[in-house]
Amino acid sequence: MSEMATAEDLKLMQFCRSLPKIELHAHINACISTSTVRKLVRLKEAKGEPCLDVSKYFVTEHITLDELFQKFKIIHALNTSVESMFLTTYETIREMAADGVRYAELRSTPRADAATGMTKRSYVDAVLAAVRKCEQENVDIVVKLLLSIDRRGSVADAADTVRLATQYAASSGGVVVGVDLSGDPAVNDARVFIPVLREASAAGLKLSLHLAEVVNNEETLELLRCVRVDRIGHGVFLHPEVGGSQAIVDCVRSNRTPIECCLSSNEKCYSLPHLQDHHFVYWHIENKHPCIPCTDGGAIFETSLSREYYLLAEHYGLTRRQLYDISLRSIDHAFTDETTRDALRRRWQLEAPSL
């Protein structure tokens, strides 16, 4: 919101906060708020370990994807232990709940760290322990987890992640539900992961893939055709007008594959001159295609899910009723069972803010 926010703007923001919301695209290490960063620094200092300059973590202006991935190096250097992963996840969940998010799918790339003894498995355990603690404390949110494959890694690493996800899907009481493919889109050809991703689907895991973050039509089309893509992350360059292709559009439309749209993240990393040019307009407004507003990780992009809904109203003139409907429809695309979805829908009915 600008400094010149009018009473109407404030009322709209208030509405967006009270709207029950569902977050389907948030990388844990992109969700670390200023206050959590401070806690992580204290944790590191208490152990006598050096810290990088964490003030550079936040994306305050337009940056390139390359610069974004440099920022993750800063946070990864800070977040190296099971204690810090637990803390990060715990704080993230509480902050989301405070923003009115009632269902969230977090995603994160399991990492090992020789210095602290963290393994990929203890990393996931720490995240799951934080989810359980929030449940025990009755934090008002349902949380699920996707394990992320980093496309910069090897196929063997990816296979490891799918194996972990398969095991945790069985042992986590339904918290681990799927796999994400992410990482620097300029690195490697994601088609090498097709067999591994197919195995993940065959094992019953849901798949959300970062696709078309840069123009890469062959890769995008082949992944869409060879893998059961349950949701698309970003999909900035799918349609021909922006360098994508009609074949890709046909594929996405015929499968009605939902697109996770992260306005602020895209605006900051793709330097969209105007949010009017965001692909939400093409897909959702012009073509009624299912799109889910998400943050990508609110903290790093200095946003929140409420603010993303606010931006939809501000830039595309969506009414409160339309914002509510988008939020309600997002439930259809959650990687959970029908019972949970029905419970969420009932809640949405009860909690519908005055429209």
Residues that bind ligand 6MZ (CB under 6 A): 27-30, 68, 72, 108-109, 148, 150, 182-183, 210, 213, 265, 269, 296
Of these partners, Zn ion, ligand 6MZ, none, which one is at the site of residue 30 (CB under 5 to 8 Å by kind)? ligand 6MZ
CB of 262 to Zn ion, least distance (A): 7
**Residue whose structure tokens are 């190296």:** 80
What's the rounded Cα separation, in Å, for the pair 43 and 41?
5
Shortest distance (Å) from residue 294 CB to ligand 6MZ: 11
Smallest gap, in angstroms, from Cβ of residue 15 to ligand 6MZ?
Answer: 28
Query: Would you say 270 or 310 has its CB closer to ligand 6MZ?
Result: 270
Question: CB under 5 to 8 A by kind: which of ligand 6MZ, Zn ion, none does 172 bind?
Answer: none
334 binds, among ligand 6MZ, Zn ion, none (CB under 5 to 8 A by kind): none
- Cβ atoms of 56 and 297 within 8 Å: the answer is no
Residue 108: contacted member of Zn ion, ligand 6MZ, none (CB under 5 to 8 Å, by partner type): ligand 6MZ
The label of the residue with tokens 């029950």 reads 20
Written as six digits, the tokens of 165 are: 């996800």
What does 150 bind: ligand 6MZ, Zn ion, none (CB cut-off 5 to 8 Å by kind)?
ligand 6MZ
Closest CA to 115 of 168, 63, 44, 22: 44
Establish whether 338 is a catalytic residue: no
Q: Measuring CA to CA, which residue among 17, 15, 19, 13 is closest to residue 1?
A: 13
Which of ligand 6MZ, Zn ion, none binds 28 (CB below 5-8 Å, type-dependent)?
A: ligand 6MZ
Question: Which of 217, 288, 290, 297 lies closest to 262 in space, CA to CA?
Answer: 297
Q: In the block, which residue shows the tokens 């992410």?
A: 182
In this complex, which beta carbon is closest to ligand 6MZ, that of residue 67 or of residue 140?
67
Choose among Zn ion, ligand 6MZ, none what residue 80 binds, the Cβ cut-off being 5 to 8 Å by kind: none
**Distance between CA atoms of 137 and 251, rounded to whole angstroms?**
43
Q: CA-to-CA distance for 124 and 246, rounded, in angstroms?
A: 39
- Please identify, using beta-carbon distances, which residue of 101 and 269 lies nearer to ligand 6MZ: 269
C-alpha dist (Å) from residue 187 to 69, 190, 218: 11, 9, 15
Catalytic residue among 91, 95, 105, 213: 213
Of the two residues 219 and 296, which places its CB atom closer to Zn ion in the complex? 296
SS3 23: strand
Least distance (Å) between residue 39 CB and ligand 6MZ:
17
**Token digits of residue 348:** 């949405």
Cα 256 from Cα 232, distance rounded (Å): 10
Least CB distance from residue 59 to ligand 6MZ, whole Å? 10
What does the binding site for Zn ion look like in residue numbers (CB under 5 A)? Answer: 296
Q: Is the sign of the CA dihedral 42, 43, 48, 52 positive or negative? A: negative
- Taking the least distance from each CB to ligand 6MZ, the nearer of 108 and 245 is 108
Q: Could you tell me where the beta strands, DSSP code E, fall in 43-188?
A: 101-108, 142-150, 176-182
CA 258 → CA 3, 103, 210, 226, 335, distances in Å?
Answer: 34, 17, 12, 17, 12
> DSSP letter at 152?
T
Nearer to ligand 6MZ, 28 or 312 (CB): 28
- Closer residue to ligand 6MZ (CB): 94 or 210: 210
Between CA 57 and CA 61, with CA 59 as vertex, the angle to 5 degrees is 145
Nearest distance from residue 62's CB to ligand 6MZ, in Å? 13
Two tokens, residue 215: 């123009």
Catalytic site positions: 213
